[in-house]
């Protein structure tokens, strides 16, 4: 049993914390929202109204927060984790944030004598509840070895991606491909329809040909061929456009700072920004097929 402090008990954090409780860890939590703290108590954890109380006895601190600015404040603030955690505690930030902030906060952790990994996830709320998230981890090999047993009850796949920030790098690179491939598959269905090609017929060809990809065969943007895809449920998430828009924003920040050449990534980011700005942030990201067709 490990004493774990969990900060950020929202749509993702609460079910992740529940899986740590189910694995017989002792769990203390902090969230700004009273409702989130009450939900943790209801699940058998102990909730506190300050970070200092939550992290006091913790061997491990896990966070699942909305943005880089919030992660920085939670860890580096005067009332934050670094000033209040016990010596030798391990820090695991699973939030999706920009690579630069992830590296800065890890550097600050090191200056305070703590090991820290960035460990963003894919798998969404369903994966968080089922304990089947994929963790992409950045940090030293020693920190990864310490973090792995803590992540195991929450995940099905845990990959060490390299030094601090590389977990975030892997996450945004993956999601940039996902956005581009979903737009590509959607454009192909829209073009096929306009040429009189039946959706299922095109699917049967493409799924067994060189267009095969996850956006087509696991998350097909037209209803019918893949019964579990959100297209069969009026494009209810799933993975909301607002979250894809957020991740593409982080990818474009990284593009700007690294100088990488990503013309398709830029276009995908623009398309999802427009879809989001037009009020469709709550639509699953595969609903881009309707956005492109002008029918959303
Ligand atoms: P959420 O908004 O449901 O939860 C965030 C929680 O953080 C809230 O309960 C909020 O009260 C709390 N919070 C905000 N500021 C705080 C602070 N200063 N101190 C303590 N608590 C604070 O968001 P979510 O969907 O759980 O997402 C969390 C992270 O996971 C984000 O970085 C998101 O990009 C990432 N993510 C989400 C999904 C998804 O499907 N929802 C999938 C993969 C990754």
Report how far residue 170's alpha carbon sits from residue 83's, in angstroms, rounded to the nearest whole number.
30
In the DSSP assignment, the letter for residue 230 is: G
Distance 168 CA to ligand 1 centre (A): 15
CB–CB of 128/105 below 8 Å? Answer: no
Nearest protein Cα to ligand 1, atom 8? 10
Note whether 30 and 54 are within 8 A (CB): yes
Alpha carbon distance 33, 233 (integer Å) = 31
DSSP3 helix / strand / coil % (the chain, rounded to 5): 55, 15, 30
Give CA–CA dist 160/139, Å, rounded: 8
Provide the whole-model pTM.
0.95
Question: What DSSP character marks residue 94?
Answer: -
- Residue 192 sits at φ, ψ, to 5 deg, of -55, -45
- Which of 6, 9, 12, 245 has most ligand 1 atoms within 8 Å of its beta carbon, as the pocket-test mutant? 12
86 DSSP assignment? P
287 Cα distance to chain centroid: 19
CA of residue 295 relative to chain centroid, distance: 29
Which residue has its alpha carbon closest to ligand 1 atom 21? 31
Candidate of 7, 10, 171 to mutate for ligand 1, largest count of ligand atoms within 8 Å of Cβ:
10
Closest CA to 265 of 254, 276, 279: 254
Residue 70 pLDDT > 90: yes
pLDDT tens for 177-223 read 999 999 999 999 999 999 999 999 999 999 999 999 999 999 999 99
H-type alpha helices, 79-213: 81-84, 99-111, 124-130, 141-151, 166-194, 199-206
Q: pLDDT tens-digit profile of 227-280?
A: 999 999 999 978 999 999 999 999 999 999 999 999 999 999 999 999 999 999
What angle do helix axes 99-111 and 166-194 make, rounded to 10 degrees? Answer: 170
Q: Is 143 in the pocket of ligand 1 (CB under 6 A)?
A: no
- Band of the pLDDT at 282, cuts 50, 70, 90? very high
d(CA 275, CA 138): 31
Residue nearest atom 12 in ligand 1 by C-alpha distance: 8
Report the alpha-carbon distance of residue 145 to residue 62 in Å, rounded.
15
Exactly one of 18, 171, 246, 290 is catalytic; name it: 171
Q: What is the pLDDT of residue 60?
A: 98
Report the residue among 17, 62, 64 best suited for mutation to probe ligand 1: largest number of ligand atoms under 8 A from its CB. 64
SS (H, E, C) 147-171: HHHHHHHHEEEEEEEECCCHHHHHH
Contact call for residues 71 and 101 (beta carbons, < 8 A): yes
In this predicted model, what pLDDT tens digit does every residue of 100-139 receive, in sequence order? 999 999 999 999 999 999 999 998 888 999 999 999 999 9
Secondary structure class of 66 (helix, strand, coil): coil
Burial class (CB in 10 A: 0-12, 13-18, 19+), 194: exposed
Supply φ then ψ for residue 147, to 5 degrees.
Answer: -75, -30
pLDDT digit string, tens, across residues 78-104: 999 999 999 999 999 999 999 999 999
Terminal-to-terminal C-alpha distance of the chain: 50
Whose tokens are 């699973």? That residue is 94
Return the pLDDT at 248. Answer: 98
The answer to whether 146 is a known catalytic residue is no
pLDDT at position 238 is 84
Is the CB–ligand 1 distance for residue 9 below 6 Å? Answer: yes
Cis omega before residue 238 (within 30°)? yes
């Amino acid at each position: 049993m490990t004493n774990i402090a969990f900060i950020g008990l929202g749509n993702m954090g609460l079910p992740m914390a529940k899986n740590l409780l189910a694995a017989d860890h002792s769990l203390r939590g902090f969230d700004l929202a009273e409702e989130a703290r009450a939900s943790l108590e209801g699940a058998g954890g102990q909730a506190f109204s300050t970070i200092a109380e939550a992290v006091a006895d913790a061997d491990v601190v896990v966070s699942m927060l909305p943005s880089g600015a919030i992660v920085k404040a939670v860890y580096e603030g005067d009332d934050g984790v670094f000033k209040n955690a016990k010596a030798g505690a391990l820090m695991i930030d699973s939030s999706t944030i920009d690579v630069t902030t992830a590296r800065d906060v890890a550097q600050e952790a090191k200056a305070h004598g703590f090991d820290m990994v960035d460990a963003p996830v894919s798998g969404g709320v369903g994966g968080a509840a089922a304990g089947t998230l994929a963790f992409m981890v950045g940090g030293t090999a020693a920190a990864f070895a310490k973090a792995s047993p803590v992540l195991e009850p929450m995940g099905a796949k845990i990959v060490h991606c390299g030094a601090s920030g590389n977990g975030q790098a892997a996450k945004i690179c993956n999601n940039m491909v996902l956005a581009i491939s979903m737009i590509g598959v959607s454009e192909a269905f829209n073009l096929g329809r306009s040429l009189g090609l039946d959706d299922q017929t095109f699917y049967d060809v493409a799924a067994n040909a060189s267009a095969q990809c996850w956006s087509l065969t696991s998350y097909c943007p037209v209803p019918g061929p893949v019964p579990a895809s959100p297209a069969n449920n009026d494009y209810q998430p799933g993975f909301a456009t607002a979250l894809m828009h957020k991740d593409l924003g982080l990818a474009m920040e990284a593009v700007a700072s690294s100088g990488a050449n990503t013309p398709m990534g830029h276009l995908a980011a623009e398309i999802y920004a427009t879809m989001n700005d037009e009020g469709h942030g709550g639509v699953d990201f595969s609903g881009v097929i309707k956005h492109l067709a002008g029918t959303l």
